[in-house]
Every structure is written in C-alpha cells, then in structure tokens.
Amino acid sequence: MAPLSTLTFDTSFRPDIGARVDLASGLTRITAPNASPYTFTGTNSFLIGREKLALVDPGPDDATHLESLDRAIAGRPLTAILLTHTHRDHSAAAAGLAQRYGVPLWFGGRHRLSRPLRRFERNPIKRSCDWDLVADRTLVDNEVIEAGDLTVTVHTTPGHCANHLAFGLPDADILLSGDHVMGWNSTLVAVPDGSMADYFASLDKVIALPYRHYHPAHGGPIADGPAHAEALKAHRQMRNDQLLAAVANGAKTLGAVVKTIYPTQPVKIRMAARMTMQAHVEYLEDLGKLRVSRGLFGPRLSLP
C-alpha cells in the first residue's frame, strides 16, 4: 500500500456521457448527464453480467440517460435493480425502471437517518433523499447474490448514509464502492443523514476486504482502492486534529472552524465542508474530545 500521507484526488476523469464503457468481463459503466459540484461528472450506472444483467444505481430520472441504459442493456434480460443507497442522484429512476422492465429493487432498506433528529434540528439534505422507495429485497452484510449471471457479495458500508452498500465482484477483484470511497473528492458526511463514526468504521471494513480495484459511483476507477481508503482515513483524522486545533485557538462556532480550515474554497464547497465538519464535531464529542453546547443559534464549541 502507498504511504498514508499520499492522498491525491484525480479530477481528470472525462467520461463519454451516455456511452457504454466495458470495464471488465461482465461489468459496464454508463455515466449520467447530471454533473454538479456534488456529483462531479455525473452518476455512474453499472451493468453486471454477460447474457443476463443487473443494473446498479440507475441514477437520475432523465430521458437521455434512460435511453442510454436501454441501449447498453441491448435486449438482454434484466434480473434486478440494485442501489448502493437512496440518495436521488442514484435512485430517482429506480422505481420507474423496475416497473418498465418488470424486475425487483434490491438495496439496504428504506432511507433512514443515522440518528434521530434533535429538537429544532433539520436534515440539510432531506430533499436529496428517496424516502418513499421500498426494497423488494433488503440486502444484508456478506450476503451473496446472483446479479445477472454473476455472483456478487454485499457489504454494508454506512457513513455517507445509513443504508449505504458496496458490491464486491470477487472474480474480477473489483468493489463497486458507491459514494463511500471516491477518487475525485472525499465523501460528504452530513449529519443526521450520515455518521462520521460509521464512515470511519466502514473505511476500516473495506480496507480489510479482498478487493484491489474500486469503481465508485462518481468519477473514475481507483487502481489501488485499499491504499486510497487508508489515505482518506488519514485525511479525515487530520480534519479531526485541525478542528480541535481551531477550537483551541479560539474558534467557538462551526462557522469559525470552517473559515479557519477552508479559507479560500468556493461557497458550494464550503457548504459541503460545513456539513462534514458538523459530523466531525459529533464524532469528537462522542469521543469526549470536544464539548458542545447546543442552542437556537447553533452549537458552541470548547475543549473539555
């Protein structure tokens, strides 16, 4: 594995939107036209199988993307639609396609928060969540399923959200890592939808799994997935240290912490950073390393 200090983000990925790209025997990628600061170049949908197929993360309910998926399926039988999780950039097209192709939906259960809402609290990404989508089959950890005509292992990887899954293709040494591990940026963890403690635990989990090559749901492939996951873990631990240092130096609010750690980033990036730093605050609070006083004007931070 690479040293932990060598985290680099690859933003060079330039997909041919809508084109069928064969990544390995029995694995195809089709990238949706929904690029944004949060989805990078768009959501990657995947087809697993050769003669029979399973569709992973059908993505946005976009007519152009649905036509691209249909061309890539090319008349072959579709057996199921799988979701890494129920954020709408991955799942919005799922119910319609399941009905269109007459196939079941398989994922990690209905969208749910990682912890209950506190009094006066709101979920900042509520509108991005597919609350009403119901699984025909709820997938569980280490379950081995038939996806199309290939065998896939299910790995629960909560953190980005509570029902996040990764799918392992053992014969190809590939993990479809969803939004848990991506090569273009670190993962958004927005409480209470997500959980930093779960995110760290899921990083340890995938690092220990026997897959070298990761294909995330946004951006290009990661050649050495475990090494990149190790570097992401070190990066998040560095953010913990930076947060504690900022508080020690007088930052008493989340806004002051974000301004200290992310002084020059664009507004949308700082909005995402603020959500993830809130997850770090809760993580450090649970560890007893940070004291948090909550009121109508947001949390006040201090060291124990």
Q: At 105, list the tokens.
A: 């939906």
What is the C-alpha separation between 229 and 286, in angstroms, rounded?
23
Give the distance, in angstroms, between the CA of residue 6 and the centroid of all CA atoms in the same chain. Answer: 21
Q: Say which amino acid occupies 18.
A: G
Quick one: what percent of the chain has pLDDT higher than 90?
91
The pTM of this model reads 0.95
**46-97 pLDDT, tens per residue?**
999 999 999 999 999 999 999 999 999 999 999 999 999 999 999 999 999 9
Per-residue pLDDT band at 141 (split at 50, 70, 90):
very high
Task: Name the segment(s) of the chain with CATH classification 1.10.10.
Answer: 236-302
Q: At 296, list the tokens.
A: 């109508």
Mean pLDDT (the chain) is: 95
CATH number, domain 236-302, options 1.10.530, 1.10.10, 3.30.1340, 3.90.550: 1.10.10
Contact 209/168 with Cβ under 8 angstroms?
yes
CA 86-91-96 angle, 5° bins: 135
Alpha-carbon distances, residue 126 vs 181, 190, 294 (angstroms): 22, 10, 21
What architecture (CATH level 2) is domain 21-232?
Answer: 4-Layer Sandwich (3.60)
Task: Name the segment(s) of the chain with CATH classification 3.60.15.10.
Answer: 21-232
Residue 3 has pLDDT above 70, yes or no: no
Contacts 24+ apart (CB under 8 A), 226-230: 226/1, 227/1, 227/2, 228/7, 228/181, 228/183, 229/181, 229/203, 230/1, 230/2, 230/4, 230/203
Point out the least confidently predicted range of 52-61, 94-103, 150-159, 287-296.
287-296
Please, where are the H alpha helices in 112-161?
A: none
**202-234 pLDDT, tens per residue?**
999 999 999 999 999 999 999 999 999 999 999
Q: Say which amino acid occupies 13.
A: F
